Structure 1
Amino acid sequence: MIRHIVSWQLAPADPVQKAAAAAGIAVRLEGLVGVVDEIRSLQVGFDVAGGSNWDVVLIADFDDLDAVNRYQVHPAHQAAGTFIRSVVSSRMAVDVAV
């Protein structure tokens, strides 16, 4: 099993715009469940502490790295990524065996 973890810092500084961007990310990523067969589990969370923390996190589980790679190129994931890239300033990702 591979756990795919991605964190983003959002570009908007305004709290209302930041919240809208975070919600837009969550809706798009959560909408991939049932569309992208490779996803075994997926959750999106928002930072509650503030400060220099990252704003949004994705934690998703896949059977193996091949499944992660198929997820990455799936058209529905690509569409979600287009929106995400439009509202973030930084991205961090790690794939770990669990």
Structure 2
Amino acid sequence: MLKHIVMWKLKEGEQKEQNALTVKELLEGLVGKIPELKKAEVGININGSDTAYDVVLYSEFDDEAGLAAYQSHPEHVKVGEFMKEIREKRTVVDYIL
């Protein structure tokens, strides 16, 4: 089982809260559309610290090949294009249990 965790710091502005909600909806909407994506949880930050990120994705795949298929899937690519427009920073970690 491969765990894939991504955190984003979103650009500041009046759309920041709405963008976080949109990201959550888009990412959770990939479950069932991309067979390799076994599980996805998206959280919106409630911590007011300057060091906190705004949105986090926790997802599971069978293996690295499954993650690669997910990352190149057209539905994921569409979400990624939106993310590039609204994010300031991105951090990721992948690990196998």
Give the TM-score normalised by structure 2. Answer: 0.95
Tell me by how many angstroms 1:47 deviates.
1.1
Equivalence for 2:18: 20
5 Å-filtered alignment, 1:50-61, equals: 50-51=48-49, 52-61=51-60
Displacement of 1:75 in angstroms is: 0.1
**Distance in 2 between residues matched to 1:7 and 1:49, nearest whole Å:** 14
Q: Which residue of 2 aligns with 1:8?
A: 8
- Could you tell me which residue of structure 2 aligns to residue 47 of structure 1? 45
Out of 31, 35, 41, the residue aligned to residue 33 of structure 2 is 35
Residue 24 (structure 1) shift: 1.1
1:60-95, CA deviations, whole angstroms, 9 ceiling, x for partnerless residues?
Answer: 000000100000000000001111111100000010
What is the letter of the counterpart of residue 22 of structure 1? A
SS in 2 for 1:80: helix
Return structure 1 stretches of 4+ with deviation > 2 angstroms: none
Give the RMSD, CA atoms, in angstroms: 0.9
Unaligned runs of 5+ in 1: none
Q: Secondary structure at the match of 1:95?
A: strand
Give the percent of matched residue pairs that are identical in Structure 1 and Structure 2.
Answer: 38
Task: Please list every run of 5 or more consecutive structure 2 residues that lacks an aligned counterpart in the other structure.
Answer: none
Question: Equivalents in 1 of 2:30, 2:78: separation in Å?
Answer: 10
The C-alpha deviation readout for 1:40-76, integer Å capped at 9, x for no partner, is: 1100001111212011000000000010000000000
SS at match of 2:27: helix
Distance 1:38 1:91 in 2: 22
1:13 CA displacement: 3.6
Question: What is the TM-score of this pair, normalised by structure 1?
Answer: 0.94
